Amino acid sequence: MAILAIGDVHGHYEALLRLLDKAGYGDGDELWFVGDLVNRGPDSAGVLRFVHGLARKRVVLGNHDFSILVQAQRFPGNKLQASTLEVLQADDGEELIDGLRQFPLLYADTRLQTVMSHAGLFPQWSLEQGQAASDTVSAQLRGGGYRDFLREIFGNLPNQWSPELRGMDYWRFAVNAFCRMRYLNEDGSLNLEAKDKPKKTKGLQPWFSVAQTCGWRQLFGHWASLGLRTEGNIVCLDGGYAWGGQLAAYDVENRRLAATLSAK
């Protein structure tokens, strides 16, 4: 049995199938997804249908997955993207989107000493703190008041971690750290604006260049301009397929790329 971690799919269902074929994926294998299953590509519904139907999977939520959850609530003033409408117009569309509420922000594998999240584990957090943050957000998503939670979750503040954060401030910081983080400001706060590669970004610190409280290997996506990075304990699997780059499958146990698929 192989464990294959897949980079940001962004609604490219046919590309995902081609990638899995190249990687030699079989029925007994397990698939991990670093989030951003939806949006940008032509068949978000197909991706969601495929992922929900898998018997062996680990999935964490990305910022685009959160976005489609919020859009599907049709809150006043919120615009629906074309890819969201495409999913909602499917016979099983609402069910496909609602199923995203069951996925966490963080997955930790003790045997492999590996953690997976969409953007990374906030450097000041231990694994236990990260797991607690993921669990409390999951409790909100899966609870009866999830619509109230989704109505308020978007926003850039607070961007400074404090163990005193409570309620929506705590949940919003956790979602932003797990789903949107790339750089930290000099004071250690989240910078949610910069998106370019580190060589072109001055005065900010890539989150993974800061001393990590958790020493396990980290698998993440989200950062297309960073590109595929599979050496050591910092593994970025966003090859930017949605931008003309690559979709990647990573062999988790053997610590190597199993296959890539170019969009060009």
Please tell me the least confidently modeled range out of 11-25, 61-75, 133-147, 197-211. Answer: 197-211
Mean pLDDT of 245-253: 98
Other CB atoms within a 10 A radius of the CB of residue 75 amount to 11
Please give the pLDDT value at position 219: 98
**Quick check: 185 pLDDT over 90?**
yes
CA distances from 215 to 4, 73, 135, 138 (A): 21, 38, 20, 24
Please give the pLDDT value at position 264: 83
Sheet containing 114-117: order of strands:
106-109, 114-117, 217-220, 234-236
Average pLDDT, the chain: 97
What is the share, in percent, of the chain residues with pLDDT greater than 70? 100
Can you tell me the distance from the alpha carbon of 204 to that of 201, in angstroms, rounded to the nearest whole number?
Answer: 7
The answer to whether the beta carbons of residues 85 and 190 sit under 8 Å apart is no
- Going by pLDDT thresholds of 50, 70 and 90, the confidence category of residue 127 is very high
Mean pLDDT of 236-262: 97
Please give the pLDDT value at position 6: 99
Please give the pLDDT value at position 101: 98
- Going by pLDDT thresholds of 50, 70 and 90, the confidence category of residue 199 is confident
Query: E strands along the chain, which residues?
Result: 3-6, 30-33, 57-59, 106-109, 114-117, 183-184, 190-191, 205-206, 217-220, 234-236, 246-251, 256-262
Residue with tokens 């170019």, as numbered in its chain: 262
Can you tell me the distance from the alpha carbon of 98 to that of 107, in angstroms, rounded to the nearest whole number?
Answer: 20
Please give the pLDDT value at position 211: 85
Predicted TM-score of the model (pTM): 0.97
Please give the pLDDT value at position 212: 87
Q: Which helix (H) or strand (E) holds 13?
A: helix 13-23
pLDDT in tens, 219-228: 999 999 999 9
Sheet containing 183-184: order of strands:
190-191, 183-184, 205-206
Mean pLDDT of 114-128: 98
- For the structural domain made of 3-262, what CATH number should be given? 3.60.21.10
Residue with tokens 């615009």, as numbered in its chain: 79
Mean pLDDT of 78-105: 95
- Going by pLDDT thresholds of 50, 70 and 90, the confidence category of residue 78 is confident
The answer to whether the beta carbons of residues 236 and 227 sit under 8 Å apart is yes
Q: Where are the domains of the chain?
A: 3-262
**Quick check: 91 pLDDT over 90?**
yes
Q: What angle do CA 185, 191, 196 make, to 5 degrees?
A: 105
Q: Is 167 left (phi over 0), alpha (psi -120 to 50) or beta?
A: left
**Quick check: 79 pLDDT over 90?**
no
Other CB atoms within a 10 A radius of the CB of residue 240 amount to 21
Maximum Cα–Cα distance across the chain:
49
